[in-house]
Amino acid sequence: MSFACYEKIEEYFRTKTGITFQEKLALFFMKVSDVMNRLQIHECNEFYEKLQDDEKIFSMLLQELVVSQSYFFREDAHFAIVKDLIEKNFLIHPHILSIPCASGEEPYSIAIYLLEHNCCDFHIDAVDINPQAIQKAREGYYLDRELKYVPSYIKERYFIRLEEGYRIIDRIKESITFLQANLFENNFEQEHYDFIFCRNLFIYLEEKKKEQALAIFHGLLKPKGYLFLSFSDYLKNPCSFDTITINNKIIYQKRMSDEKSGMYH
Ligand SMILES: C[S@@+](CC[C@H](N)C(=O)[O-])C[C@H]1O[C@@H](n2cnc3c(N)ncnc32)[C@H](O)[C@@H]1O
């Protein structure tokens, strides 16, 4: 077994996704070996070559290594802040980016919250690197156990009961565009978003990729737009963002150079 080859694979994976396994190399090697066995590839170098050419192989490895775990109404205090900021700033048709969106739980929760609070004119782009997660998000079908924390009145209003689970209603689906993409490899529209949700990704990223992600978000946000991270992603030094506290939650606001005036209070 060539460790150098496995390290090459880890570096390739880290450069592409930003996710580091340098502290967990044994786990990384084991997961790579599992995928190689499933594909009946016996040579590490052969796997390394195929990984770079074949998106399907990359996505098999991704699914072994990164859990697309999420749940409805996770850290829902953020949604009330978004609603208040929309009202306070008289935002018309605000654009929201949810990245990573996993299997849709986060963008669907935002959309349900906003509609439930009479905020009806918005659009959400929801992005994840994992093709299977995006497929599930587009289907919008969840098993009973995946909705166990969702109050029954919300299920009644925003889901259709099926045999073993629930499907989200079209009104909610229509407010979201799902896209399978890598945060670090995509050309999203600049200065397009009022709010970006990037929760529970930074914890997995190496330092320089966190900086790269912040620079990407700075470009994508409208002047003085807002970035929401999870409490576990807390950044001490969020270069080019101001840290503000609303309702005891830390939010990051795009800092503007002096000559550019902002749209927000
Ligand atoms: C733990 S989930 C977080 C989902 C949701 N934001 C939440 O807080 O519940 C992490 C997700 O990040 C996605 N991901 C990892 N690297 C990514 C990248 N470079 N670009 C886009 N999505 C990525 C994974 O596929 C996974 O679905």
**Which residue, judged by its Cα, is nearest atom 6 of ligand 1?**
199
Ligand 1 centre and the CA of 229: distance in Å? 12
* Strands 165-168, 159-161: pairing kind: antiparallel
Q: What share of the chain is helix, strand, coil (3-state, %, to 5)?
A: 45, 20, 35
Report the separation in Å between the CA atom of 191 and the middle of ligand 1, taken as the mean of its atom positions.
Answer: 22
What are the structural domain ranges in the chain?
A: 3-65, 77-254
b/e map of 132-171 (b: 16 or more CB within 10 Å)?
Answer: ebbebbbebbbeeebbeebeeebbeebbeeeeeebebeee
Could you tell me the sign of the dihedral formed by the alpha carbons of 68, 69, 75, 80, in that order?
positive
Rounded Cα distance between 226 and 222, Å, is 9
Report which protein residue has its CA nearest ligand 1's atom 13: 100
CB atoms within 10 A of CB 172: 22
Would you identify the CATH topology of the domain 77-254? Rossmann fold (3.40.50)
| Cα distance between residue 86 and residue 136, in whole Å | 29
Each residue of 142-197: pLDDT tens digit? 999 999 889 999 999 999 999 889 999 999 999 999 999 999 998 889 989 999 99
pLDDT tens figures, 225-239: 999 999 988 888 898
Can you tell me the distance from the alpha carbon of 211 to that of 58, in angstroms, rounded to the nearest whole number? 24
pLDDT tens digits, 79-114: 999 999 999 999 999 999 999 999 999 999 999 999
Q: Is it the case that residue 72 has pLDDT exceeding 60? A: yes
